[in-house]
Chain A
Amino acid sequence: MNGQLANRFTPYIFMAPAVLIMGIALLYPLGYMVYGSFREWNPSQNISETEFVGLKNYITLFFDAAFRESLAVTLIFAVTVVAAELFIGVGLALLLDRNIRGMSLLRTLFILPMMIAPVVVGLMWRYMYHPTVGTINRTLKSMGFEGVDWLGQHALASVIVADIWQWTPFIFILALAALQSLPRSALEAARIDGATAWQQIFYIKLPLMMPVLIVTALLRLIDAFKVLEVILVMTQGGPGLSTEILALRISRTATEFRELGVAAAMSNYLLILLLLLTLGMFVITRLQEKRAARLAKMVQEES
């Protein structure tokens, strides 16, 4: 009996250290943040000296025009970059899904931008966009066009381009992996039936890749909501608030405005948003699994 009990608890005992570490490393800071978001908290104060203000921070934020503008910028940024990256990434994957000599070298080259530290990416693009000495304007001018004030007049678009440049490879590499693991039989059957290349893409390849693409897109979306360094280095959120994404606003609220409580509340809004996205991802994968299981069952029953 005793042995049985011990047996039943063994797995939990083995898991205990991990759970403990998770609790300390994950839940404690998270709880601290949630707790802090209900308080009026100046960084010069200990949290015990702070005053409880209820939902005030959340309500102030809700009516704060700057916060809402920042939220809108974040949404525009995230949706645009993910859509563009998906389009270009999947397109590239479809183009490069063939036996070319030196393919592995090409693939490594394509994923290089992803490996560069974000601060470096920001600096690089900032210099490329520089109005007088930047590569882009110099090229434009040498071709006889007028220079463009990239980070002044078209800041959000410029930042979006930099992000697309850095993160398209992520989608590309996952899409390529998905493409190469597609069942060749389906493609062969389509080819025998006389499907054109476009038809193969739209009716066979894309639908079969869809599960991978959805997960990839959600991962990128979550990442895009939290992007900070590249924008911080390139524009510091300017001009005006035109590129001030939420992560940057949170950091400024904590350091410049010295309102840790409000910053915590803002982080919680972001967390809730990301949680909803993650939940969406869960639901979609679950639905797909169910559909796959149903299909498999149907196939089995037919055979």
Chain B
Amino acid sequence: MLKKLKHLTLATAMLLSTSAMAGPYDPYKGETLVVNFPAHPHYNAVMKILPEFTKETGINVEVDQLPYLKMRERQTLELAQDEGEYDLVAYVVFSKADYVYADQLENLARYFMNPKLADPNYDADDLIDGYVYNIGFAGGNKGYLEGKTGSLFGIPYGSETSVLGYRKDIFDKHGLKVPETYDELLKTACAIPQLEPGMGGLSSRAASGHHASHAFLLHLAPLGGRVFDDNWNPIVNNAQGVQAANALKTIVECGPEGAASFGFGEALGSFLNGDTAMFLDTTVVAGQINDPDKSKVVGKVGWAMHPMGTRRGSQTGGFGIGIPKNAEHKEAAFLLMQWLTSKKADKLVALAGGNPSRFSTHADAEVNAKFPHMATFGEALKYADPDWRPIIPVWGKINADLGTTLSKVLTEGLDVQEALDGVAERTKGVMNEAGYYTWN
């Protein structure tokens, strides 16, 4: 009898102790999170690792995956409701300004302060600086950069930077050197059509609107330019701006046929098709280059850092994940967010073909064995420039104007200086109306 009682107490004690030592995920077991992700190579990889999360935590995840422009529209509507459908959203970088300004994303401080939720082994310092400040941070310098007044509203996930892809076979055949500076880049880009008739130098996006603007900004940062000075005066029309626009013009002229109307898809397509020798754009494409279904250049592509002008400055962009203010399961959503961006899951998603958010993943031996370009990408990320493009609410309008005007330069022969002067003047009007000169 006594023995039996002893057993019982032991059992009770064990039960008590296990409940006291319950895992961080237990209170949320059985909850179902509804998340909104874009249709994007990185998030396709995420879909493969989500079952792992459910297995580990008992939290179910339901994913609403939408094309990314559609996703943004949907989120704009969803986030304005009193009660939202989504517990976690992946937002495209320029939505940061809109969502944070409209007070629609949770400040993450509350969650990282909560000992029951925050994982002490998370190692936030390992997250890539440029990505964090570009995508997750708001309220710092200029309102969108790192700074003492800022705080974190999201974590970069599915972010990307720019690297130079080049055809090793073509470069070897003609003894070309992989360009390290902008001068070399432009010279090589224009030499290739002569060395390999029918082949373009570098394929770039150039189509009217967002594409042309993106391509221009890609060159503006390394060449030492900026869109605004510290007082929000547009300086896109200064010498560096003109140089960047001329670089874009040269690249398009020495590019593949019809390059002036290329969007991202066409630019990538022509590189995958073997019509150009170089590609300078996002790291997201790395997975497709070695996919024989999509690419004719499998195994022929080498990667190098975005060439340098007066400084190094590769782009930062892509997506981050954040918790909407009107979410129903915020704490569980934070746990998912933390899990997805943890060292372990970051490596899992990298191995599944995604874009890692951590320095350690880029240096990881296993990841590099599978994707040898990862180390170069990690190196490029040290120079990722969070200020290559301003993330302010009126940017959409300025971006469109910049893009259509540059397109006129490329297709209608508009003078570069005149075109950029026009952009600067109109931008000044937009900024004035938005109240950026209130303190001047």
**Contacting residues, chain B, for A235 (C-beta < 8 A):** 207-208, 261
CB < 8 Å neighbour of B208 from A43, A147, A240: A240
Residues of A contacting B: mostly = loop
Q: Which of B53-61, B282-290, B370-378, B407-415 contacts A (4 or more CB under 8 A)?
A: B407-415
CB < 8 Å neighbour of A240 from B77, B275, B404: B404
Asked if B359 CB lies within 8 Å of chain A CBs, one says no
**Contacting residues, chain B, for A252 (C-beta < 8 A):** 209, 400
Asked if B140 CB lies within 8 Å of chain A CBs, one says no
Q: Which of A79-87, A112-120, A149-157, A197-205 contacts B (4 or more CB under 8 A)?
A: A149-157
Cross-chain contact B261 with A239 (CB below 8 angstroms): yes
**Contacting residues, chain A, for B208 (C-beta < 8 A):** 235-242, 244
User: In the complex the two chains form, what is the Cα distance from A43 to B99 in whole Å?
Assistant: 10
Asked if B396 CB lies within 8 Å of chain A CBs, one says yes
Cross-chain contact A130 with B258 (CB below 8 angstroms): yes
Cross-chain contact A149 with B261 (CB below 8 angstroms): yes
Asked if B263 CB lies within 8 Å of chain A CBs, one says yes
Cross-chain contact B209 with A258 (CB below 8 angstroms): no
Asked if B311 CB lies within 8 Å of chain A CBs, one says no
Using a CB-CB cutoff of 8 Å, which residues 35-54 of chain A contact chain B? 42-46
**Contacting residues, chain B, for A46 (C-beta < 8 A):** 80
How many interface residues does B have (CB within 8 Å)? 38
Asked if A257 CB lies within 8 Å of chain B CBs, one says yes
Closest Cβ of chain A to B404, distance in Å, is 5
CB < 8 Å neighbour of A258 from B210, B396, B405, B408: B396
Cross-chain contact B260 with A256 (CB below 8 angstroms): no
Cross-chain contact A45 with B80 (CB below 8 angstroms): yes
Contacts A131-B258, A132-B257 given: A239-B397 contact, CB under 8 Å?
no
User: In the complex the two chains form, what is the Cα distance from A132 to B203 in whole Å?
Assistant: 14
**Contacting residues, chain A, for B256 (C-beta < 8 A):** 131-132
Asked if B184 CB lies within 8 Å of chain A CBs, one says no
In the complex, besides A149-B260, A240-B411, A256-B210, 20 extra interface pairs with C-beta distance below 8 angstroms are: A42-B98, A42-B393, A45-B102, A46-B80, A131-B256, A149-B258, A149-B261, A152-B258, A235-B208, A235-B261, A237-B209, A238-B207, A238-B407, A239-B261, A239-B410, A240-B208, A240-B407, A242-B208, A257-B397, A258-B396
Pull 26 A–B residue pairs with CB atoms less than 8 Å apart, ordered by A.
A44-B76, A44-B79, A44-B104, A45-B80, A46-B80, A66-B404, A131-B257, A132-B258, A151-B261, A153-B411, A235-B207, A236-B208, A236-B263, A237-B208, A238-B207, A238-B208, A238-B209, A238-B212, A238-B261, A238-B404, A239-B260, A241-B408, A242-B411, A242-B412, A258-B393, A259-B397
Which 5 A-B residue pairs are closest in the complex by CB-CB distance?
Answer: A238-B208, A131-B258, A44-B102, A240-B408, A239-B411
Chain A residues in the interface with B (C-beta under 8 A): 42-46, 66, 130-132, 147, 149, 151-153, 155, 235-242, 244, 252, 255-259
